C-alpha cells in the first residue's frame, strides 16, 4: 500500500501508539483548581489527541487511564475517575462512533460496578465494525496483572507447558490480536513505565515530554512522531550498513 503524501511529519510512522496520560493533578494545581478539574481536562484532551491521530493516519492508540495501582488513591478521587469514565461513555460515544472510532478495553472488568461494565460492553459492541482508528482504553489495567490473568487463563485451558511460546502467551494477553506498540509516550516529565504494557512494549521507542497531559496537543504529537521517525529500530540486529562490512582480523 502506498502511503498518502503527507508533509506534516517525517516517515516512518508508528502503527500503534501507547500513551501514559500523566500530569492531570499538577495541571490542576498550577491553576489552583481541584484535582478533578485536571482529570476532566485530561479526559477532554483524549478527543483532541484522537483527532490528531486520525489526521496523522495512526491505526491504534492505547491510552492509560486508570491503573491497577490507582485504587490506592483517596476514595473520592477513585470515585471521581469512575464517574468521568461513565460520563465519557454516555456523552462521547456517539461522537466517537460517528468519527469511525473502534473502542476496545484492556484491563480487568470484574472489579468495576455492573453499570459501568454494561456501558463499556455496549460501547464496544456499538463501535466494533468501525475502521478509522482503534482506541484502546486501559482501565483497571496493570501489566503484571495482565500476565497473571494470562497464566490463569492458560492453566484453565490446560495448556501444555511445551506448547507455551511467545506467540501463545501474546494471544492470552488483553491485547490479543492488536499489534505491539511502536511508540510509547509519557507526559509530565516522569520517566517510568508505571506498569503499562510491559510485555507489549519490549521493543517500543519511548518519548518523554514535560508537557502535562491536558496541554498535550496536536503539535506535541507531531513532535513525538518526528522524534520516532528519526530513531533507528534495530531489534537486536546490527545497523544495516554494518551488515555487509568486513572487519579485518
Ligand atoms: C494522570 O494524572 C491520571 C491518572 C493517573 C488517573 P495524575 O492524577 O497522576 O496527575 P499527577 O501525576 O498527580 O500530576
Ligand atoms: C500512571 O500514572 C497511570 C495512569 C496514567 C493512568 P500515575 O501517576 O498513576 O503513575 P505513578 O504513580 O506516578 O508511577
Ligand atoms: Mg501521575
Crossing angle of helices 75-91 and 114-127, in 10° steps, is 30
Q: What is the pLDDT of residue 10?
A: 80
Would 6 be classed as within a structural domain? no
103, 124 contact by CB (below 8 A): yes
Task: For residue 18, name the pLDDT band (cuts at 50, 70, 90).
Answer: very high
Annotated catalytic, 70? Answer: yes
Would 185 be classed as within a structural domain? yes
77, 149 contact by CB (below 8 A): no
Q: What number does the ligand 2 atom closest to the CA of 25 have?
A: 8
Q: In what order do the strands lie in the sheet with 16-20?
A: 101-106, 133-141, 60-67, 16-20, 183-186, 205-208
Would 179 be classed as within a structural domain? yes
**Residues paired with residue 94 on neighbouring β-strands, in sequence order:** none
Ligand number, closest to the Cα atom of 197:
2
Percentage with pLDDT > 70 across the chain: 94
pTM of the entire structure? Answer: 0.94
The whole-angstrom separation of Cα 99 and Cα 245 is: 49
Nearest to 147 by CA among 185, 175, 124, 121: 175
Would 5 be classed as within a structural domain? no
Minimum CA distance residue for ligand 1 atom 8: 25
Would 74 be classed as within a structural domain? yes
**Interval 194-211 mean pLDDT:** 98
Number of domains in the chain: 1
The whole-angstrom separation of Cα 91 and Cα 152 is: 35
Length of the chain: 249
| CATH number where 183 lies | 3.40.1180.10
Would 1 be classed as within a structural domain? no
Ligand number, closest to the Cα atom of 69:
2
CB within 6 Å of ligand 1 — which residues? 21-26, 66, 70, 81, 188
CB within 6 Å of ligand 2 — which residues? 20-22, 64-67, 70, 190, 192, 194
Would 216 be classed as within a structural domain? yes
Query: Strand, coil or helix: what is 174?
Result: coil
Range of the domain at 110: 11-248
Task: For residue 57, name the pLDDT band (cuts at 50, 70, 90).
Answer: very high
Annotated catalytic, 130? Answer: no
Would 137 be classed as within a structural domain? yes
Checking if the pLDDT of 249 tops 90, the result is: no
Amino acid at each position: 500500500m502506498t502511503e498518502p503524501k503527507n508533509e506534516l511529519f517525517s516517515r516512518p510512522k508508528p502503527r500503534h501508539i501507547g500513551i501514559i496520560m500523566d500530569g492531570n493533578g499538577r495541571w490542576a494545581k498550577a491553576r489552583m483548581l481541584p484535582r478533578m478539574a485536571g482529570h476532566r481536562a485530561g479526559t477532554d484532551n483524549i478527543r483532541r489527541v484522537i483527532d490528531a491521530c486520525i489526521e496523522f493516519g495512526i491505526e491504534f492508540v492505547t491510552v492509560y487511564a486508570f491503573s491497577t495501582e490507582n485504587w490506592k488513591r483517596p476514595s473520592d478521587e477513585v470515585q471521581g475517575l469512575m464517574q468521568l469514565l461513565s460520563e465519557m461513555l454516555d456523552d462521547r460515544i456517539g461522537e466517537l462512533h460517528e468519527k469511525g472510532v473502534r473502542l476496545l478495553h484492556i484491563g480487568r472488568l470484574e472489579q468495576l460496578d455492573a453499570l459501568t461494565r454494561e456501558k463499556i460492553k455496549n460501547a464496544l459492541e456499538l463501535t466494533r465494525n468501525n475502521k478509522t482508528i482503534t482506541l484502546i482504553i486501559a482501565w483497571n489495567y496493570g501489566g503484571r496483572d495482565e500476565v497473571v490473568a494470562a497464566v490463569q487463563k492458560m492453566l484453565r485451558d490446560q495448556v501444555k507447558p511445551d506448547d507455551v511460546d511467545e506467540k501463545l502467551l501474546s494471544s492470552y494477553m488483553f491485547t490479543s490480536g492488536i499489534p505491539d506498540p511502536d511508540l510509547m509516550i509519557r507526559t509530565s516529565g516522569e520517566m517510568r513505565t508505571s506498569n503499562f504494557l510491559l510485555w507489549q512494549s519490549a521493543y517500543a521507542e519511548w518519548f518523554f515530554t514535560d508537557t502535562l497531559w491536558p496541554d498535550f496537543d496536536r503539535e506535541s504529537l507531531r513532535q513525538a512522531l518526528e522524534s520516532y521517525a528519526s530513531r533507528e529500530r534495530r531489534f537486536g540486529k546490527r545497523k544495516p550498513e554494518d551488515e555487509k562490512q568486513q572487519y579485518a582480523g
